[in-house]
Amino acid sequence: MTAPPAPEAASRLHIVQATIARATADARRKADDVTLIAVSKTHAADAIQPLIDAGQRIFGENRVTEAAGKWPALRAAHPDIALHMVGQLQSNKAEQAARLFDCIHSLDRPSLVTALARAMDKADRRIPCFIQVNLDPLALALGEGQNRHDTEKGGCAPAALPALLTQARAADIDVIGLMTVPPANLEPAPWFALLAKIADDHGLPGLSMGMSGDYATAIRIGATHVRVGSALFGAR
């Protein structure tokens, strides 16, 4: 949890950027088709500042309260920063989230659609969202799922997606794509490919998938947004 010295943060960023460049080239995609979200959860402002100094401008957090504590000051100093919410969002934090974040990756249930739509009205801003899909039920159905205690992981069941998408659009929420955290302890590539297929079926261009261990794989399969934490900030 100690802050890495600035040169280390900058060199980690360069390594991640080079990996993204290589993966996009492999997939015959343009490097700027992929948005790098630096997931700074658990890291204090003094650990984040070196990445800002190195030019990173898009950051991700997974808790509203933590983000509200450290980002207003950083953003006041760097107004061009964008902040993405990548973690599960409680409906009672929707109002705070609508003021604090520029994109939500974890829209996953009807009650949150309702709460976020109302929160965006109140904040008088519309922020783009990804619908988070939980592919674990499919892994289980294939007999591949782990009996995991990761029940905290959010995401709608694939079967619930069409209705949620319809509801979100009716509530004037701009759904730009799908997000997933693949089933644990399995090869991630088939799950990334499945998410890409589902997004394509629904005409959704955005794919938020890939973390420190698998973002190059995700990019080769079509990720438009990668959420990278420990590869940039070190272990949490």
| Residues binding ligand PLP (CB under 6 A) | 39, 41, 62, 86-87, 181, 211-212, 227-231
* Shortest distance (Å) from residue 152 CB to ligand PLP: 10
* Shortest distance (Å) from residue 28 CB to ligand PLP: 25
Closest residue to ligand PLP, based on beta-carbon distance: 229
> H/E element holding 187?
none
Distances in Å between the alpha carbon of 204 and those of 137, 157, 230? 22, 17, 28
Q: Specify the residue, 62 or 224, whose C-beta has the smaller distance to ligand PLP.
A: 62
* Shortest distance (Å) from residue 134 CB to ligand PLP: 12
Q: Specify the residue, 124 or 152, whose C-beta has the smaller distance to ligand PLP.
A: 152
* Residue whose entry in the numeric block shows the structure tokens 């008088």: 124
Q: Specify the residue, 166 or 185, whose C-beta has the smaller distance to ligand PLP.
A: 185
Q: List, in sequence order, the alpha helices (H) in the chain.
A: 6-26, 45-53, 64-77, 94-100, 110-123, 136-141, 161-170, 189-201, 215-220, 230-233
Q: Specify the residue, 2 or 141, whose C-beta has the smaller distance to ligand PLP.
A: 2
Distance of CA 98 to the CA centre of its chain: 16
Q: Specify the residue, 14 or 169, whose C-beta has the smaller distance to ligand PLP.
A: 14
* Shortest distance (Å) from residue 42 CB to ligand PLP: 8
Phi, psi of 49 (to 5 degrees): -55, -40
CB atoms within 10 A of CB 35: 17
